[in-house]
Structure 1
Amino acid sequence: MKLRVGIVGCGKFADVHVQQVHALDNAALVAVCDLEPLMARQMAVRYSVPAVYSDFGRMLAEQRLDVVHITTPPSSNTALASSAMEAGCHVFIEKPLAPDLKAAQAIVAAAEHHTRKLCINYWYNYDPPGEALRRLVEEGVLGDPVHVESVFGYDLSGVFGSALLGDNEHWVHHLPGKLFHNVLDHVVNKIALFMPDADPLVSAFDHRHRPPSGDAITDAVMDELRFLMQGERVSGYGLISSHARPAGQTLRVYGTRNTIQVDFQKRTVVVETAQTVPTALGRLLSAFSHARAYRRCAYGNLRQFLWAEFHAFEGMRRLLRAFYDCIHHDTAPPIAYSEMLRVSGLMDALIGALVQTRLAREGRR
């Protein structure tokens, strides 16, 4: 039997949710909801969704949904998720889970209280490169992790960036970490995979690289972030850049055996090994070794392309399939609640470190 799915929040990224639900054979999108009726109606027309609502409670009461996708600004996530779970629905929620750890804990507590399943959209970790990395780690290729570098490029001239900078009422302006807060999950959750510490030392620095616009709200949006986390045995470095080109997402994991370089945009995963042949000959052969690794990636990508598994949100489709399967078979969700809360806690620590850095910077002026 197909799961009955509803979506609340019909903004830009909700289209991606609709497309991935339609791509799966174990679920059917039966209703969409938005406070702005026109947004909901337009989405329903685009994707032939039978039911349209502007009242979330009414949608829950009338549609007997199995799953609710929440794609609203995070300030409303706690109330919406709690209402959905109380109505008997499982919840798939966009990142960030909530504006802070306390609100995130309330969402997880609601899931546990109502015995409903909860999943957050950490889809990069389920992209083919993310899954390839996980297999290499499980096979012992990395060894013990030593350091992780997570990089996220954000093009402010794109659809989402333009919407933010062009609207002083955009919900991102109200997040504690503003622009960074909306994408920090994608940077931090990759580091958290290799750093088990719940409370590492954190330092963070940000600045605005673009010239001032003269608008106080727009100019308050910083666009470059650097941070360092130091755990007991593993350190992590994160970078969010709106100006470095190309604007990609990469991960570099240093281990005691080898180092693994992941490029989520180009869909490549390359293991960097120690030089085994001495002298200049070994240095010469290293480039050929890298070339072979990239050739394997190219053939793998071609294979995925031919099998229609090379689209931009393949990772989200795989994560969503795993979440729906866990509902059908009553197994554990693909992402542990403890991991969601640990990432939320690390994000709180990062935002707090940014505030302290800004205060120190102001004190020197």
Structure 2
Amino acid sequence: MKLRVGIVGCGKFADVHVQQVHALDNAEVVAVCDLEPLMARQMAVRYSLPAMYSDLGRMLTEERLDVLHITTPPASHPALASIAMEAGCHVFVEKPLALNVKAAQEIVAAAEHHGRKLCINYWYNYDPPGEALRRLVEEGVLGEPVHVESVFGYDLSGVFGSALLGDNEHWVHHLPGKLFHNVLDHVVNKIALFMPDADPQVCAFDHRHRPASGDAVTNAVMDELRFLMQGERVSGYGVISSHARPAGQTLRVYGTRNTIQVDFQKRTVVVETAQTLPTALGRLVSAFSHARAYRRCAYGNLRQFLWAEFHAFEGMRRLLRAFYDCIRRDTAPPIPHAEMLRVSGLMDALIGRLAQTRLAQEGRQ
């Protein structure tokens, strides 16, 4: 019997949730909800869904849902998650988990109090490159992690960026970290996999690379971020760039044995090893070694394509399957609560450091 899934929040990314659930054989979307009835109606019509609501309480009462997907702005996540869990639903929530770690703790506490499963959509870590990286680490190829570099490219000329910059009431303007707050999870959670520290030293800088528009609200949205975290044994460097091209998403992990380079857009995972041949010959052979590694990635991607596993959101599909399986088997969720809270705490530290840096800069002007 399939799990009954409901979705609250029928904005742009809710489409991806419906599509990925429909691709699975162990769950089905039976209802959607949005405060704006037209938004719920258009989604129900486009995906031939049986029910639509503008009242979450009514949907939870009438539909007997097993799982609720929360795809609303993050300020609403704690209240919606609590209502859903009290009604007996497990919860799959979009990132960021909440506006700050205190609110994130409320969501986790509700899950533990009601005995419900909770998962956040850190889907990149379950994409084929993310899983390949995890296997290499488990096999000891990396050795002990020393430093991590996580880069996230964000094209503001896309649909979401245009909507944000064209609407002063867009919900992103109300986030403590504005644009960065909405995508920072994708950068920080990858670093957190290798940096166990809950309270590392943090340096952070941001600026607006695009020209000023004459609108104060829009101008307050910074579009370039750089930060450095120093833990006890591991350091991390993060980048969010809206102007670097191509707009990619990469992860580079330096270890005591080897370095692993992951490109989530091209879906390549390459291990960089130390030269063992004499200097000149080693430099010559190194390029051929890299070529072989990329060729293996290309053939692997082709194989996934032929097996219909080369989807844009394959990682989300795999994460959902794992989450739904943990519900059926009553096992631990794929992403531990402690990991969600640690990422939320690191984001708080980064956003707080950015505010301090801006104040210091203003004081020097």
Give TM class, smaller chain.
over 0.9
Give the 4+ runs in structure 1 shifted more than 3 A.
none
1:100 and 2:100 matched: yes
Matches within 5 A, 1:69-218: 69-218=69-218
> Which range moved further: 272-281 or 67-76?
272-281
CA deviation map 1:28-59 (0-9, x unaligned): 11000000000000000010110000000100
Taking the aligned partners of 2:279 and 2:253, their CA distance within structure 1 comes to 26
Tell me how far 1:159 sits from its aligned partner: 1.1
Taking the aligned partners of 1:56 and 1:216, their CA distance within structure 2 comes to 35
Taking the aligned partners of 1:170 and 1:14, their CA distance within structure 2 comes to 17
DSSP-derived class of the 1:198 partner:
coil
- Structure 1: give runs of 5+ residues left out of the alignment: none
CA deviation map 1:243-284 (0-9, x unaligned): 000000000000000000000000000000000111211110
Taking the aligned partners of 2:156 and 2:178, their CA distance within structure 1 comes to 13
DSSP-derived class of the 2:148 partner:
strand
Taking the aligned partners of 1:181 and 1:299, their CA distance within structure 2 comes to 36
Tell me how far 1:201 sits from its aligned partner: 0.3
Tell me how far 1:226 sits from its aligned partner: 0.2
Tell me how far 1:212 sits from its aligned partner: 0.3
DSSP-derived class of the 1:203 partner:
strand
CA deviation map 1:141-165 (0-9, x unaligned): 0000000000000000011111111
- Residue in 2 that maps onto 1:287: 287
Taking the aligned partners of 1:283 and 1:237, their CA distance within structure 2 comes to 27
Taking the aligned partners of 1:18 and 1:159, their CA distance within structure 2 comes to 19
Tell me how far 1:131 sits from its aligned partner: 0.2
Tell me how far 1:174 sits from its aligned partner: 0.3
> Which range moved further: 160-169 or 313-322?
160-169
CA deviation map 1:96-131 (0-9, x unaligned): 000000000000000000000000000000000000
Taking the aligned partners of 2:196 and 2:227, their CA distance within structure 1 comes to 17
Taking the aligned partners of 1:355 and 1:216, their CA distance within structure 2 comes to 17
CA deviation map 1:152-186 (0-9, x unaligned): 00000011111111111110000000000000000
Taking the aligned partners of 1:281 and 1:218, their CA distance within structure 2 comes to 54
Taking the aligned partners of 2:56 and 2:181, their CA distance within structure 1 comes to 26
Taking the aligned partners of 2:181 and 2:199, their CA distance within structure 1 comes to 19
CA deviation map 1:257-316 (0-9, x unaligned): 000000000000000000011121111000000000000000000000001111100000
CA deviation map 1:212-266 (0-9, x unaligned): 0000000000000000000000000000000000000000000000000000000
1:263 and 2:260 matched: no
Residue identity over aligned pairs, in percent, reads 90
> How big is the alpha-carbon RMSD for the aligned residues of Structure 1 and Structure 2?
0.4
Taking the aligned partners of 2:3 and 2:186, their CA distance within structure 1 comes to 28
- Residue in 1 that maps onto 2:32: 32
CA deviation map 1:173-212 (0-9, x unaligned): 0000000000000000000000000000001000000000
Taking the aligned partners of 1:319 and 1:160, their CA distance within structure 2 comes to 24
CA deviation map 1:309-351 (0-9, x unaligned): 1110000000000000000111000000000000000000000
Taking the aligned partners of 1:166 and 1:126, their CA distance within structure 2 comes to 33
Taking the aligned partners of 2:103 and 2:210, their CA distance within structure 1 comes to 33
TM-score by length of 2: 1.00
What is the total number of aligned residue pairs between the two structures?
365
Taking the aligned partners of 1:345 and 1:191, their CA distance within structure 2 comes to 13
